[in-house]
Chains A and B, each alone.
Chain A
Amino acid sequence: MKRVTGLVLTGLIAVCVLSACKPEAGEEKDGKLKVMASFYTMGDFAQKAGGDEVEVTTMVPAGTEPHDWEPEAQDIAALEEADVFIYNGAKMEHWVKDVLNTLENKELIVVEAAEDIELLGSHGHQGEEGVYDPHVWLDPRNAEKQMETIGEALEKAAPDKQEYFRENCSKYKTEFAQLDQEFEEQLEPLPGKDIIVAHEAFGYLCRAYGLNQIGIEGLSPDSEPDPARMEEIIEFARENKVKTIFFEELTSPKVANTIAKETGADTAVLNPLEGLTEEEIEEGKDYFSVMRENLQALVKALQ
């Protein structure tokens, strides 16, 4: 008797587990593409390219620094049911390879948004051979390319909506061009060219507009600085009369404050757009508005 109950129970459990593993295939009722994006900017681009035809979920939660983030079981489960997965690449998301290997979702279209972009090497003090700067989206022209790549992937996932996606992308193409122009026009005449930032995320932005970044940290934030590096930065700030030390909203401002105090400079936020806080999203901020805030901060600092 016991054995029979055991068998029945095992059978029941097996059925439950198997059915849980196999979600209903096919499109959702509302026909929207299910898009998973690794962090905020990827999600923002996907939403802009996909418009009403996509349902975008950003994996790294609002207000979280994406460099150290790792997916939870729920995120993997969501990926199993998604149609498209968008990530930046260039080692921004170190977990992507492992996660993709474990997925059983054969239909999933995977997009590496930075694929077609020429990567900058890291020349930070922690730079190693073969380490690239992943923050490509901080140059509006790269961002435009990224959205194009994302748009192409969406077309692949839903060929019948090709025209709609293309329309969206070309609409934003002009916006990216306008942003690029604003940066160029406003930064070009300014005398200052050196910026001190929390971590060297602004390589692409600097290259595009002829600026020079000095990072307190290397490519990833929140590691302990050594005093020799701090001395270097303080000396640099004094020599070049840097008026503003930039820090990021998602990391600790302690080191920036210490250096600013030493040199009599101000501190200000320069957002690398790795993530927005919940409040910022509620206020309706997006890639373009944050980049314009960055521009204003830069203009103020470099005057």
Chain B
Amino acid sequence: MSVLQYAFMQKAFIVGILLAIITPCIGMTIVLKRMSMIGDALAHSSLAGVAFGLLLGINPVLGATAFCIFAALGIEGIRKKTPRYSEMAIAIVMSAGIGLAGVLSGFVKNSANFNSFLFGSIVAISDLELWMVILVSVLVLLVFLLLYKELFYVGFDERAARISGVSVKTVNFVFTLLTALTVSIASRTVGTLIVSSMLVVPVACGMQIGKSYRNTLILSIILAVLFTVAGLTVSYYGKLKPGGTIVLTGVLVFVIIVVFKSIRIKYKKHKAVQ
């Protein structure tokens, strides 16, 4: 297969598939908590972190991760104060992140440094980034499997979860850390676009056809892997930008599923009337 004859494409597939496996695990809970835009908010905050890191002379990746965690905890904190409007928390943190990134980047003297941390592309991944993604993936998967039941509970009904003895606070905290870590590492590696949409689009597709939590989750992961592999392959042969192609593949599949589903329902109704 000629797609895989180059090391950069091999890396793209490895990183893409790994992220496709872990993002729905996180995305599922995010969607259930009505926080679909959290990926964007955290990615923007991590830009502010990069600028901050460069200004203080600490490692920008460290700065980005720290800011991401801080922003995620901020969202979680605001969300608790306004539980019925959790998307508001995201909007506030996102504004803060963009604003801070804008102001701080004005102080960064060498934009080359800045650009090299902002720029993430799935076809240009360094060895270090590859290893970081592998590490984060393993960590996310382990914790996710360990907290599987708790996350399931918390995702649907925090209060009920608390009553039945789940330590909601701890679960939320750990989950927030995982989300921040994934977004900050992955957006640096493959770009913000892929990360923020991969958190949501596969889960949205899975929810259309899945019949249970577990079923939906597994479907989402399979679909996410499919989108990534199909998107990368199409972009390779079709001379397209890989990030956008992967995301659009996902959205296209979502639209097809929705249309197909509504046609089927209409057909069933029609049959029932007859």
A contact residues around B12 at 8 Å (CB): 227
Q: Which of A271-301 contact B (CB under 8 A)?
A: 277-278
Contact A234 B6 (CB under 8 A): yes
Q: Which of B68-102 contact A (CB under 8 A)?
A: none
Chain B nearest Cβ from A54, distance in angstroms: 25
- Alpha-carbon distance between A62 and B115 when the two chains are bound, in angstroms: 14
Query: A63 contacts which of B7, B112, B124 (Cβ < 8 Å)?
Result: B112
Contact A262 B6 (CB under 8 A): yes
Contact A250 B6 (CB under 8 A): no
Q: Is A64 an interface residue (CB 8 A)?
A: yes
Query: A254 contacts which of B7, B121, B238 (Cβ < 8 Å)?
Result: B121
- Alpha-carbon distance between A262 and B243 when the two chains are bound, in angstroms: 21
Known: A230-B8, A254-B119, A257-B126. A224 touches B110 (CB 8 A): no
A contact residues around B238 at 8 Å (CB): 228
Q: Is B259 an interface residue (CB 8 A)?
A: no
Q: Is B240 an interface residue (CB 8 A)?
A: yes
The chain A residue sitting closest to B105, CB to CB, is A64
Q: Which of B1-49 contact A (CB under 8 A)?
A: 6-9, 12
Contact A258 B8 (CB under 8 A): yes
Q: Is A178 an interface residue (CB 8 A)?
A: no
Q: Is A253 an interface residue (CB 8 A)?
A: yes
Query: A65 contacts which of B109, B111, B240 (Cβ < 8 Å)?
Result: B111
Contact A226 B235 (CB under 8 A): yes
Contact B124 A255 (CB under 8 A): yes
Per-residue B-contact encoding for A53-91, CB less than 8 Å = 1, 0 else: 000000001111100000000000000000000000000
Q: Is B218 an interface residue (CB 8 A)?
A: no
Query: A277 contacts which of B112, B118, B124 (Cβ < 8 Å)?
Result: B112
Chain A nearest Cβ from B52, distance in angstroms: 17
Known: A63-B110, A250-B111, A252-B115. A228 touches B121 (CB 8 A): no
Q: Which of A122-158 contact B (CB under 8 A)?
A: none
Chain A nearest Cβ from B57, distance in angstroms: 14
The contact size tier of chain B is 20 to 34
Chain B nearest Cβ from A281, distance in angstroms: 11
Chain B nearest Cβ from A133, distance in angstroms: 21
Q: Which of A239-261 contact B (CB under 8 A)?
A: 248-255, 257-259, 261
B contact residues around A259 at 8 Å (CB): 8
Query: B124 contacts which of A225, A249, A251 (Cβ < 8 Å)?
Result: A225
B contact residues around A227 at 8 Å (CB): 8-9, 12, 123, 232, 235-236, 242
Query: B126 contacts which of A63, A230, A249, A254 (Cβ < 8 Å)?
Result: A254
Contact B119 A252 (CB under 8 A): yes
Q: Is B170 an interface residue (CB 8 A)?
A: no
Q: Is A161 an interface residue (CB 8 A)?
A: no
Of B7, B111, B118, B125, most buried by chain A (CB within 10 Å of CB) is B111
Contact A278 B109 (CB under 8 A): yes
A contact residues around B8 at 8 Å (CB): 227, 230, 258-259, 261-262
- Alpha-carbon distance between A251 and B124 when the two chains are bound, in angstroms: 14
Q: Is A229 an interface residue (CB 8 A)?
A: yes
Contact B109 A62 (CB under 8 A): yes
Q: Is B237 an interface residue (CB 8 A)?
A: yes
Q: Is A93 an interface residue (CB 8 A)?
A: no
Q: Is B239 an interface residue (CB 8 A)?
A: yes
- Alpha-carbon distance between A229 and B232 when the two chains are bound, in angstroms: 13
Contact A258 B112 (CB under 8 A): no
Q: Is A231 an interface residue (CB 8 A)?
A: yes
Known: A64-B111, A234-B6, A277-B109. A229 touches B124 (CB 8 A): no
Contact B239 A228 (CB under 8 A): yes
- Alpha-carbon distance between A16 and B22 when the two chains are bound, in angstroms: 59
Contact A224 B232 (CB under 8 A): no
Q: Is A222 an interface residue (CB 8 A)?
A: yes
A contact residues around B235 at 8 Å (CB): 226-228
Chain B nearest Cβ from A58, distance in angstroms: 14
Chain B nearest Cβ from A220, distance in angstroms: 12
Contact B242 A226 (CB under 8 A): yes
4 further contact pairs, Cβ within 8 A, besides A228-B239, A252-B115, A257-B126: A64-B111, A226-B241, A227-B9, A254-B119
Q: Which residues of A contact B (CB under 8 A)?
A: 61-65, 222, 224-231, 234, 248-255, 257-259, 261-262, 277-278
Q: Which residues of B contact A (CB under 8 A)?
A: 6-9, 12, 109-112, 115-116, 118-119, 121, 123-126, 191, 232, 235-243
